[in-house]
Structure 1
Amino acid sequence: MGYMVMSWLFLTQFLMLHAESKAKVPAIIVFGDSSVDAGNNNQIPTIARSNFEPYGRNFAGGRPTGRFSNGRIPTDFISGAFGLKPIVPAYLDPMYNISDFAYGVTFASAGTGYDNATADVLDVIPLWKELEYYKDYQKKLRAFLGVKKANDRLSKALYVLSMGTNDFLENYYTLPDRQSQMSIDQYEDFLISIAKGFIQNLYGLGARKISLGGLPPMGCLPLERTTNFMNGYECMESYNTVALAFNDKLKGLVGKLNKGLPGIRVVLSNPYQILLQIIQKPSSYGYDEAAVACCATGMFEMGYACDRYNPFTCTDANKYVFWDSFHPTEKTNHLVADHLVKTVLSEFL
């Protein structure tokens, strides 16, 4: 009888450990733009920064970190949901070192995109450079943990990619070069090919669990609504149509990658529908305002135009879907992250 109890206990422990080792994500590793930049841009000469008040006023200690929000960003909440640390620090932030980055790190740069030409607009970190920083990180992690343990962590980590909005709004629709070279459909395909190559590179470097971020309803960002005054400041439907088309192509890419790369698991983390739902029915989520942002007049300001001297900034950011004209409030980031964890990322938990 004692032997049976011992065997049963051993089996239970074995199954629990096996389940844990199978589902456990020991680190979150992030690439992308301002949606997931935690302050890398503070360390480079660019105007695409937010390391000043009132940014970060609801962050721990009321500290402006370089996150484009009044508080935490989606990857911070995803990290917390996976039982890791409540924030994912920026790789270039001198406040942190490899012992912090072992559990989570972001290489993201506000203003960047898949297209190198997008990064050039505001002199920010291009995607290829984010990958170079990741290779540097791998070396430091192996020196810190030892090669075997580091490689194990890198293969079990969740890799989060979030970018693309700037490619369209900051580059294609704003500057003449890409428009003269490609139709919007061709440009989407061009970006998809870059995303594919980037994930293949990550795979070659040991990544196996990847979350590929979809585009938000970018026609509903306050900045785009402000410019749509001829249509009563409604969402720019043409931009939303592009976002939907691009997300469909990302979905197709996910299917191809999962079939073509042995042992990989790529998922599409698509914020489009949940964010559109919040924008269309803000009161259902406890918001008062979805068309304009909290910071400054809420119509067109972001970055340096949204500073502590602006007299119009709202007192309660939780009543607003957007913090500045381009970026959601911490509350919205939390809602979107929770939705993605429950509906998509839960398979990695």
Structure 2
Amino acid sequence: MASGVTFWFFFAHLLLQIFKLNAKVPAIIVFGDSSVDSGNNNEISTVLKSNFEPYGRDFIGKQPTGRFSNGRIPTDFISEAFMIKPIIPAYLDPTYNISEFATGVCFASAGTGYDNATSDVLSVIPLWQEMDYYKEYQEKLRGYLGKEKANGILGEALYLISIGTNDFLENYYIFPSRSKQYSVEEYRDFLLGIAKDFISELYQLGGRKIAISGLPPMGCLPLERTTKIFSGTDCVEKYNSVALDFNGKLQEMIKRLNKELPGIRLVLANPYDILLDIIHNPLKYGFVDAAKACCGTGMFEMSYLCNKRIPFTCPDASKYVFWDAFHLTEKTNWIIADHLVKTSLAEFL
């Protein structure tokens, strides 16, 4: 009996190695903000952190990692769906090394944006610095695997970019400098110009399979509903309209770049429609509350305001769409990741 078990274990292991050898995507490389940050902010001097309880209470090992959720984030689930690994480590996490980063690495920083002024608000990693870390990573990977093999991985890797919400909600609509300098349409075009340059640089560095996220229905975040509570607790439609407009222009830019950059496969991984449907029809997805978050009162708590001393935090996060007032629960992250894998990311499987 034992020999039979050993045989099937060996056979399953062999199949997994074959799948990996034939995988179209050998690694997933992540840029962006708190929607995909797996812990880089732990290692920098900023007030925007989540490496404490109750964050991570449903994560593997029930440990807070710096992910802004009760558990895993969308990029973790996407990595698992591509049969790579169940979590994508943060580049600045000292407990990981280049051998683990070779199959997936995250450069994202919570609170950042396309605009350098956005990253300055909470002293987080700007997008240009994420790119510099990636260039450093490339050299480390070549040193570890050799130039030819490393370049092969970098060329076949899937690059995921999720960013932009903070530019509007943390910067443009709060501080006067950008809103005095730009109309919202002009600011949109300013951000899209940065996105175009970032993608073009990734392309020049060897990236070919790139998915860039659109903006979510950011007027439906609990924090925004709370901020506008005197005008009702429904979603702030002005913010949702900005997100829809941005996403439409982003799609147009993607079409142009697919024509201009030979060999690139650039797609829009858009969470807007699926998340809005979850928010409008929570029972359909097994949720009981889509307006308030699980942590604390569910109206304004995030980062250090969402801590283990708050007595109101819900016992079961899977019943809630939002974990804190700005970020999603693990269950919502899984639903969105599953949707993206079956739609915009399917061509890379």
Question: TM class, shorter-chain normalised?
Answer: over 0.9
User: Helix, strand or coil for the counterpart of 2:223?
Assistant: helix
Deviation at 1:240, TM superposition (A): 0.1
- Aligned residue for 2:6? none
- Aligned residue for 1:207? 207
- Aligned residue for 2:172? 172
- Aligned residue for 2:221? 221
- Aligned residue for 2:49? 49
Instruction: Return the alpha-carbon distance in structure 1 between the equivalents of residues 179 and 303 of structure 2.
Output: 26
Instruction: Return the alpha-carbon distance in structure 2 between the equivalents of residues 308 and 73 of structure 1.
Output: 20
Tell me if the contact between 2:226 and 2:300 (Cα under 8 Å) persists in the aligned partners. Answer: yes
Instruction: Return the alpha-carbon distance in structure 2 between the equivalents of residues 128 and 319 of structure 1.
Output: 37
- Identity in percent: 68
Deviation at 1:207, TM superposition (A): 0.2
- Does 2:272 match 1:278? no
- Aligned residue for 1:40? 40
Q: CA RMSD of the aligned region, Å? A: 1.1
Name the stretch that deviates more: 298-307 or 22-31.
Answer: 22-31
- Does 2:287 match 1:292? no
User: Helix, strand or coil for the counterpart of 1:31?
Assistant: strand
Instruction: Return the alpha-carbon distance in structure 2 between the equivalents of residues 344 and 207 of structure 1.
Output: 17
User: Helix, strand or coil for the counterpart of 2:292?
Assistant: coil
Tell me if the contact between 2:50 and 2:65 (Cα under 8 Å) persists in the aligned partners. Answer: yes
Which amino acid in 2 is paired with 1:144? Y
Deviation at 1:95, TM superposition (A): 1.0
Which amino acid in 2 is paired with 1:266? L
- Aligned residue for 1:188? 188
- Aligned residue for 1:82? 82
- Does 2:66 match 1:66? yes
Structure 1 unaligned segments of length 5 or more: list them: 1-18
Which amino acid in 2 is paired with 1:34? S
User: Helix, strand or coil for the counterpart of 2:321?
Assistant: coil
Tell me if the contact between 1:23 and 1:348 (Cα under 8 Å) persists in the aligned partners. Answer: no
TM-score by length of 2: 0.94
Which amino acid in 2 is paired with 1:77? F
Deviation at 1:230, TM superposition (A): 2.4
Structure 2 unaligned segments of length 5 or more: list them: 1-18
Deviation at 1:281, TM superposition (A): 0.5
Instruction: Return the alpha-carbon distance in structure 1 between the equivalents of residues 302 and 147 of structure 2.
Output: 43
Tell me if the contact between 1:227 and 1:233 (Cα under 8 Å) persists in the aligned partners. Answer: no
User: Helix, strand or coil for the counterpart of 1:292?
Assistant: strand
Within 5 Å, which residues of 2 pair with 1:309-328?
Answer: 309-328=309-328
- Aligned residue for 1:14? none
Tell me if the contact between 1:223 and 1:299 (Cα under 8 Å) persists in the aligned partners. Answer: yes
Instruction: Return the alpha-carbon distance in structure 1 between the equivalents of residues 186 and 255 of structure 2.
Output: 20
Instruction: Return the alpha-carbon distance in structure 1 between the equivalents of residues 79 and 170 of structure 2.
Output: 29
Tell me if the contact between 2:20 and 2:26 (Cα under 8 Å) persists in the aligned partners. Answer: no
Tell me if the contact between 1:36 and 1:74 (Cα under 8 Å) persists in the aligned partners. Answer: yes
TM-score by length of 1: 0.94
- Aligned residue for 1:161? 161
User: Helix, strand or coil for the counterpart of 1:199?
Assistant: helix
